[in-house]
Amino acid sequence: MAQLLPGKRIFVTGASRGLGRAFCACFAAHGADVAFNFASDSDGAAETMRLVRQHGVRALSFQVSVLDDAGLCRTALELENAWGGVDILVNNAGVSQPLPLALMEEADWDKVLDINAKGQFLATRAFIRGMIRRRSGAILNLGSLAGVRLLEAPIHYSASKAAVKGFSEALCKEVARYNIRVNCLAPGLLEEGLAANLPDYRLKEYLKHVSLHRTGTLQEVAACAAFLISDRNSYMNGATIVMDGGL
């Protein structure tokens, strides 16, 4: 199979496990150099590094929060010095909590909105400056089916992912003049993540309405993302791609 991302330099946020790790491994398999950040899981980050390096590409990891503005700017500068910059940013870092609104504290709301929405803003601002100077780039923001459809999901999570969709659409208009594309990928329930925390009866009810009658895999979403950020997808901009198995 021809590689989709040969020679591309990619930064993925939140990649010490789960979907972020799957992104890194998939992009490396397609020929990209991959850098990523993680907040605290150094063992998980080491495993992601191993998966990337086994494909013979360059790999770098940075322990920095997506809410650390100065730290993200330092990371972007380090990558400018080490690799000459980043071609592609994948804003993956995100969290959720299974809380009803009546039991939600203000701190719960702030945590989810900060990481899921503000984190994408801060990471994008840190890396887009280099893309603007080079007049080239691609950004993929991770949304969710919960941000685009009427679903029973945590309120703060749905609100944060709806913000990601709006952020992506507005940003694509702002930076298209610099030959930078911005898209949003909105998966449904996957084998890991929210699905793992759902009671069995809730998961079965959800899957009854999915035409494929199963959750998605991390590898399926990563493969889709690899195409979306590749040069072969050069005319898609400002789109939100729903990947839900046919709900």
- Annotated active-site residue 157? The verdict is yes
CA distances, 27 to each of 69, 71, 223, 224 (Å):
26, 24, 8, 11
Q: How far apart, in Å, are the Cα atoms of 212 and each of 32, 48, 91, 196? A: 31, 30, 27, 18
Q: Which of 115, 182, 118, 187 is nearest to 147 (CA)?
A: 187
- Considering the candidates 157, 201, 206, 235, report the single residue annotated as catalytic: 157
- CA–CA distances in Å: residue 46 to residues 12, 107, 245: 15, 31, 32
Q: Judge whether 47 and 218 are in contact, CB under 8 Å.
A: no
Distance, CA of 159 to chain centre: 17
Which two structure tokens, joined as six digits, stand for 70?
A: 């100065």
Pull the structure tokens for residue 151: 């679903």
Sheet order of strands, 137-142 included = 59-63, 33-38, 9-12, 88-91, 137-142, 180-187, 240-243
Which residues have a catalytic role annotated?
157
